[in-house]
Amino acid sequence: MNPAQKALWYIESHLAEELTLDAIAGLAGISRFHMVRSFAAATGLSVIRYVRARRLSEAARALANGAPDILTLALEADYGSHEAFTRAFRDHFGITPEAVRNSTRLDTLKLQEPITMDSTLLDKIEAPRFQTAKPLLVAGLGERYSCESGAAIPGQWQRFHQSVANIPGRIGNVAYGVCCNGDDAGNFDYIAGVEVSDFSDLPREFSTVRIPEQRYAVFTHREHISGIRRTVNTIWNKWLPESGLKAADAPSFERYDEKFDPITGNGGLEIWVPVKD
């Protein structure tokens, strides 16, 4: 797997945590020297510059939405003081954090969006098994995405892991990434969640989806999580057209069991695609 792809996933899914070049290179299984050069070759940015730009961009969004405590944002962006954060913010955007909060506007700022991971087709894909899924209630954190904004999903998983303990009625230790409520423009809801017994006691901040009984083609993605876009793209644009089956109008989802490690992105997962004859 491309080291830069692993680095992008690790950065986006750990953006609010301490990030060091050693840790990022270690996750990718290469040296610091190799990491610096491979990431720059793939993205045109240094690792450190990308991390800094992403953190400041997320802080700018929070400020435009009225975040009251700039020191908290500074600490979340890995700055030790209000002053250090303000200096870095002004150097990067040419405006102070207070000015962004007061204006509530972002259109004059050059934000660093998440870089989309590789989605080129795989040469071959492991044959799926077919299984009829039982009805499932999933609750978790939901976000609405477009085709262009899906690169932010790893950050959603980071927030999910911070809040999963607050989901009542959880069943088992499996996590689900559910794609649902798609429209003709390519927008969709993505829920990072767990199976629950019912929705009645859920706090309001959690989203829910009912997955009906449905026949699925179940694919195993054994590589690092950063390669999931390639696998998904190959399923929908190569395997499915050649299979003679049709996609059913039902949620598709990723299934992460105990073997998956959310810290490293290793361990594999399953991709469940609803199908019909």
Q: Are 14 and 47 in contact (CB under 8 A)?
A: no
Residues 136 and 92 in one domain: no
Q: Is residue 121 in some structural domain?
A: no
The domain boundary residue, chosen from 103, 118, 152: 103
Q: Is residue 72, in this structure, part of any structural domain at all?
A: yes
The set of long-range contacts for 66-71, using a CB threshold of 8 Å and a minimum separation of 24, is 66/101, 66/104, 67/101, 70/97, 70/98, 70/101
Judge whether 116 lies within some domain: no
**Domain span including residue 197:** 129-276
- pTM for the full model? 0.88
70 in a structural domain: yes
CB-side neighbour CA atoms (13 Å) of 277: 0
Does 114 fall in a domain?
A: no
Question: What 3-state class would DSSP assign to 229?
Answer: helix
Q: Are residues 18 and 134 in the same domain?
A: no
**pLDDT tens sequence for the chain (277 residues):** 689 999 999 999 999 899 999 999 999 989 999 999 999 988 999 999 999 999 999 999 999 999 989 999 999 999 999 999 999 999 999 999 999 999 999 999 999 999 988 889 999 999 999 999 999 999 999 999 988 789 999 999 999 999 999 999 999 999 999 999 998 888 999 999 999 999 999 999 999 999 999 999 999 999 999 999 999 999 999 999 999 999 999 999 999 999 999 999 999 999 999 999 9
Structural domain total, the chain: 2
Regarding whether 161 and 227 lie in a shared domain, the answer is: yes
Strand partners, 175: 194, 256
Q: What is the CATH number of the domain that holds 98?
A: 1.10.10.60
Looking at the fold, whether 94 and 177 belong to one and the same domain comes out as: no
Note whether residue 215 is domain-resident. yes
Domain-terminating residue out of 48, 68, 103? 103
Residue 109 lies in a domain: no
Whether residue 194 sits in one domain with residue 67? no
Is residue 118 a part of any domain in this protein? no
